[in-house]
Amino acid sequence: MQYLKIFPYSVQVVKNVGQSARLDCEVTYDSRLEGETELVWTRNGTGLETKAEKYLLRAGSEKALEVRDLTLEDDGLYECEVRTPFEVVRARVALRVGGNRR
């Protein structure tokens, strides 16, 4: 039985250095799992500190990650992972950052 569904809005987002990028991840789950779900964002397999000034996690069913003041180092594969007591599901979004270094 599937209790959880996750959908990326885009599979690739293209931005320039200095801009911000919003990476959306729509999450729907069985209402009985309220309070038992955990969301984690990673970049190239490494966890992100979403309380840091660089990354901002938006609330609601759209678990969006805002990456601020982009640099070339922000380019990579971002993954939204949602865990419940029954399963783990993931959605991936590639962020491509272009332009010159500041």
If you average pLDDT over residues 87-101, what whole number do you get? 88
Residue 34 neighbours by CB under 8 Å, 6+ apart? none
Task: Report the alpha-carbon angle 94-55-82, nearest 5.
Answer: 65
Residue 78 neighbours by CB under 8 Å, 6+ apart? 23, 41, 42, 43, 65, 92, 93, 94, 95
Q: How many domains does the chain have?
A: 1
pLDDT in tens, 16-66: 999 999 998 877 778 888 788 888 899 999 988 776 788 887 766 557 899
- Whether pLDDT at 69 is above 60: yes
Looking up residue 73, the CATH number of its domain turns out to be 2.60.40.10
pLDDT score of 1: 42
**Residue 31 CA from chain centroid, whole number:** 22
pLDDT score of 10: 65
Three-class SS state of 34: coil
User: 76: domain range?
Assistant: 4-98
Give the confidence band of 4 by pLDDT, cuts at 50, 70, 90.
low
Q: How many whole angstroms separate alpha carbon 94 and alpha carbon 11?
A: 6
